[in-house]
Amino acid sequence: MRILLLTLWSLAALVVQLTGHTYILPYALVLGLFLVFLGRLPGYRQHPARYTFDLLFLTYLWAIVAVRCRPFRWSIPVELALNIAEHIGFALVIGLLAYLIFLLLFRWPARRSLIAALISFNVLGLGNEVFQDIVFGGSLQPFDTDAWKDIGMNAFGSVLLYFIINRSNDPITPAPTSGT
């Protein structure tokens, strides 16, 4: 399974490079590093849904590559819907990744891990908007309406993730470690 995951990640990075959308590479690199880090945590390695989570994270990376690197454009309403879906997905996927790290690395209770993940994710989302302003605008500038929409969709996705995890019968919990 590791070879499949590495191949999926590598192909996504190759597509980004070949299409010239190299601004996606830092995101792909950070996601890859977090997946490697998460895969080294004993609670994650033993978790029955580990491969499902790994594939979910890489599927999201491929969704970003497909949306950002495609050679054609849709109508304005479709482009807006794709962007909204991208940001809600960003909140769900990266929020879940952060949740797992707080839960498994720090061994915090599920609710505390979830709240910490959502706060961390939204701070990351604001930082991402600042990063994009610097990269694409050349300087730090006030957020435009598109940036505020992105921040709002990140927040909406965070609330959605909160309800998904909070309402599940078995919030993602670490697998018991052997010998305990």
124 Cβ contact partners less than 8 Å away, ≥ 6 residues apart = 94
In this prediction, residue 155 carries a pLDDT of 94
Q: Where are the domains of the chain?
A: 1-72, 75-174
How far apart CA 96 and CA 104 sit, in angstroms, is: 12
In this prediction, residue 179 carries a pLDDT of 46
The label of the residue with tokens 């794709």 reads: 82
Q: CB–CB of 44/104 below 8 Å? A: yes
Q: What is the pLDDT of residues 100-142, one digit of tens each?
A: 999 999 999 999 999 999 999 999 888 878 877 777 665 556 6
Which tops the pLDDT comparison, 148 or 122? Answer: 122
Q: CB–CB of 114/51 below 8 Å? A: no
**87 pLDDT above the threshold of 80:** yes
